[in-house]
Amino acid sequence: METVVSGIRSTGKLHLGNYYGALSNFVKMQNEYNCFFFIADLHSLTTHPTPQDLQSTVRNVVVEYLAAGIDPEKSTIYIQSDVPEVAELYLYMNMNAYLGELERSTSFKDKIRANPNNVNAGLLTYPVLMACDILIHHGTKVPVGKDQEQHLEMTRTFGNRFNHLYQVDYFKEAFAFTYSDKLVKVPGLSGQGKMGKSNGEADCIYLSDTPEVIRKKIMRAVSDSGPTERNQTKPEAIQNLFDLMKVVSTADTLAHFEDLYNRCEIRYGDFKKQLAEDMVLATDPVRSRIEDISKDDAYIQKVVRMGAEKAQASAQKTIREVREIIGLKKLY
């Protein structure tokens, strides 16, 4: 059985993009693969969260993983920092990662442009830590989007470099993996780009948002004054709203509003109300489970403890073997 590895940074609540872009696929994968799904709290330290925020967001992601349908009996759900072997492998792999290749990383360039006053070593070596998350469990399938493909390529580079340096065939190559031929695009509400926390609260529909909050966000979503010609191309902001409807509404509902738009008869107030109600219905099962699971501290602790034990067993085996290969052997 091949191993799937994927993590989500603990930087806040999960949104609709996380659910349709990742979590819903995770639920399917766990029935066919050996799955490790982790909360990347070490990765989030590059942005220096407060201890209180870090702990609460880690807990939120665990709850939302469970609410989305990830089964701790079928998958390994764990917190990255509960597996110190990841940090140890990160140290070893950093010895074989070179400054030039790390500086060429697209994500590093993007991050230093966005935060020029926080160019820390963790940002530079971020691809190494991501590689270690995968290599520690010998993952071969990694559910990522196009923006992460360079990191996967670097993961293969680091693993192959280790194999070549020590003349072993130890680390396997990992490749991008999705269940569908076409990734689900979940756009944000701000009128451009995909849904993302970096664009602010108003851009996202969070899995834990109440129906009232969802309705307000949808009604305030960016739109325009309406089409002026029949069958005209939709501006990005309007296409985004139709793409959201494609995700949560029935095909008949979508076709109805497409037809109204093409005939220049659409009323955005009616369109948004329908979209909001469909969004409330689509998110209700997950939202209800989030509320129930959040109240059960004993269950959350049990899941995290069980996940840590399973992840550590896998990681400890890798570290023992890596130490042996490198030559880090006890003299006593």
Name the catalytic one among 111, 141, 217, 272: 111
Rounded to the nearest 10 degrees, what angle do helices 85-94 and 126-135 cross at?
A: 120
| Residue 305, CA distances (Å) to 81, 89, 310 in order | 12, 22, 9
| Catalytic annotation present for 194 | yes
Q: Under a CB-based contact definition with an 8 Å cutoff, are residues 36 and 311 in contact? A: yes
| Catalytic annotation present for 111 | yes
Cα distance from N-terminal residue to C-terminal residue, the chain = 38
CA of residue 212 relative to chain centroid, distance: 26
| Residue 210, CA distances (Å) to 17, 277, 290 in order | 17, 12, 11
Closest CA to 23 of 13, 239, 169, 222: 13
| Catalytic annotation present for 197 | yes
Alpha-carbon dihedral angle through residues 128, 132, 135, 140, given to the nearest 10 degrees: -70
Name the catalytic one among 74, 172, 194, 310: 194
Catalytic site residues?
111, 194, 197
